[in-house]
């Protein structure tokens, strides 16, 4: 497993950037899952990020660690789409939430699960990293 893949699979917070039809940016922290060069983000079709992806079909992202130097991070962009099939949405939402909850049946996890009616899928087209320090997981 490459350093990038390991990093993306172990970090917890990603900043997602989208733009609306007027080119106005929107940046939001999100929970995510990275698998096979694709980022999956559970959300609701009524959110700004989902509406922006539906319109522009693109997104950018940043994941980093550290507060003071040395800092390591990855940023990139890709083609984005909304997954709306209820079965796929349910399966992916559960996988994403299991990264953050030890029990998917916890009340908070269930509330998020029930509110998730779409998944943003970003196929990573380009990626850049700033390797100011060796990445250490854990």
Q: How many CB atoms lie within 10 A of CB 126?
A: 9
Q: What is the pTM of this model?
A: 0.89
Confirm if 10 and 63 have CB atoms less than 8 A apart. no
- Report the pLDDT value the prediction gives residue 130, as an integer from 0 to 100: 84
- Report the pLDDT value the prediction gives residue 55, as an integer from 0 to 100: 97
Kindly give, in sequence order, each residue whose CB lies less than 8 Å from that of residue 114, ignoring residues fewer than 6 positions away.
none
Mark the ranges of the chain whose per-residue pLDDT is less than 70.
Answer: 1, 132-138
For each of the domains in the chain, give its residue range(s) and CATH number, in order of start: 3-129 (2.30.110.10)
Residue labelled with tokens 């950018």: 60
Which pairing describes strands 58-65 and 14-19: parallel, antiparallel, or unpaired? antiparallel
Q: How many CB atoms lie within 10 A of CB 138?
A: 3
- Report the pLDDT value the prediction gives residue 136, as an integer from 0 to 100: 46
């Amino acid at each position: 497993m490459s350093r990038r893949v390991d990093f993306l699979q172990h970090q917890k917070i990603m900043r997602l950037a989208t733009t609306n039809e007027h080119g106005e940016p929107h940046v939001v922290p999100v929970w995510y899952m990275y698998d096979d060069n694709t980022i999956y983000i559970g959300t609701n079709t009524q959110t700004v990020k989902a509406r922006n992806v539906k319109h522009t079909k693109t997104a950018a992202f940043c994941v980093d660690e550290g507060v003071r130097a040395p800092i390591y991070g990855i940023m990139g962009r890709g083609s984005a789409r909304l997954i709306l099939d209820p079965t796929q949405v349910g399966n992916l939402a559960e996988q994403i939430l299991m990264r953050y909850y030890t029990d998917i049946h916890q009340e908070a996890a269930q509330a998020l699960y029930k509110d998730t009616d779409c998944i943003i899928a970003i196929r990573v087209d380009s990626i850049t990293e700033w390797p100011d320090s060796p990445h250490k997981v854990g």
